[in-house]
Amino acid sequence: MATGTEIRLSKIMRKGKMLCIPMDHGISNGPIEGLEKPHDVIYKCENHGLTSIIINKGIIKTLPRPTKVGILAHFSSSTALSLAPNRKMLTGSVKEAIRLGADGVSLHINIGGKEEPEMVEQLGKISEECHEWNVPLLAMMYPRGENVKDPHDPEVVAHTARIGAECGADIVKTLYTGDIDSFKKVTESIPVPVVIAGGPKSKTDLDILQMTEDAMAAGAKGVTYGRNIFAHKTPDKMVEALAGIIFKKETAKEMAKKIGN
């Protein structure tokens, strides 16, 4: 018999793999390029291989119609205007996510700075609530703070990602270390699915597609790309290209050609 968590995970992932657009940037950075109208991005991409989206509760509440993809309610926030932009604070609860019709909850946890203890405590608290209500939890685990010299250091990434799994997350999102061999050591040390962040807007489509192909070869279960999808001139085509790599094992070069590169 499938559990509630498994049922909801099947809406967020497809065959155990994930292609997700995080669009929680509106609180931290405002209406940045591509997110002036986030609902338009969702509906434009939902039929092109996308499995899920990460959005703040205000965007969920204002959806003009239900979307065909899984929804993770994002409940960690800070702003670029703050004196402590790395200090993520809770903006919702698991019960609220259920009331909103979300399929899961997303938290952003920064490891390596003075704000770390408070955020780890939040992760443990929300994890317990998610388990109580059978709601999947995605933990965005970032090496970020005064004590982090190199956020892509494989040992630092592995430690950071492992914290998310140890605290009960069902999916861990973290940074790609830059090569297949080092990232394989990360994925092999994490007992839950690992997906990668996209980071800043890439210089070329091939760059982000190749990173995706390499990460999948290293054991990642998918991607959560923000700017590299919603700020793309054709986000639906970028989603199709990523879906080809993630679900059909197409190559980055083949998919770049389909986008027009």
> Which residues are known binding-site members?
24-28, 142-144, 198-199, 226-227
The residue from 11, 103, 170, 173 that is catalytic is: 173
Q: Is residue 165 part of a domain?
A: yes
pLDDT at 261 over 80: no
Query: What average pLDDT does the chain have?
Result: 97
Confidence band of 114 (pLDDT split at 50, 70, 90)? very high
**Inside any domain, residue 256:** no
Which of these, 9, 144, 35, 8, lies nearest to 85 by C-alpha position? 144
Check which CATH number belongs to the domain holding 37 and give it: 3.20.20.70
Pick the closest to residue 144 from 168, 167, 119, 123 (CA basis): 119
According to DSSP, the residues that pair with 53 across neighbouring strands are 21, 71
Judge contact between 135 and 98, C-beta under 8 A: yes
- The question of whether 173 is a catalytic residue gets the answer yes
DSSP letters for 98-159: HHHT-SEEEEEEEESSTTHHHHHHHHHHHHHHHHHHT--EEEEEEE-STT-S-TT-HHHHHH
Catalytic status, residue 43: no
Query: Which residue among 142, 170, 176, 221 is the active-site one?
Result: 142
State residue 54's pLDDT score: 98
Q: Is the dihedral of CA 20, 181, 160, 81 positive or negative?
A: negative
**Tally of domains within the chain:** 1
In a domain, 26, yes or no: yes
For residue 5, what are its two tokens? Answer: 């968590």
| Among 170, 131, 217, CA closest to 52 | 170
Domain that holds residue 84: 4-197+220-226
24 is an active site residue: yes
Nearest to 21 by CA among 106, 143, 97, 98: 106
Read off the pLDDT of each residue in 9-21 and give the average, rounded to a whole number. 97
Residue 201 has pLDDT above 90, yes or no: no
Catalytic residue among 11, 24, 221, 225: 24
Strand partners, 106: 74, 138
| pLDDT, tens digit, 9 for 90 and up, residues 64-83 | 999 999 999 999 999 999 99
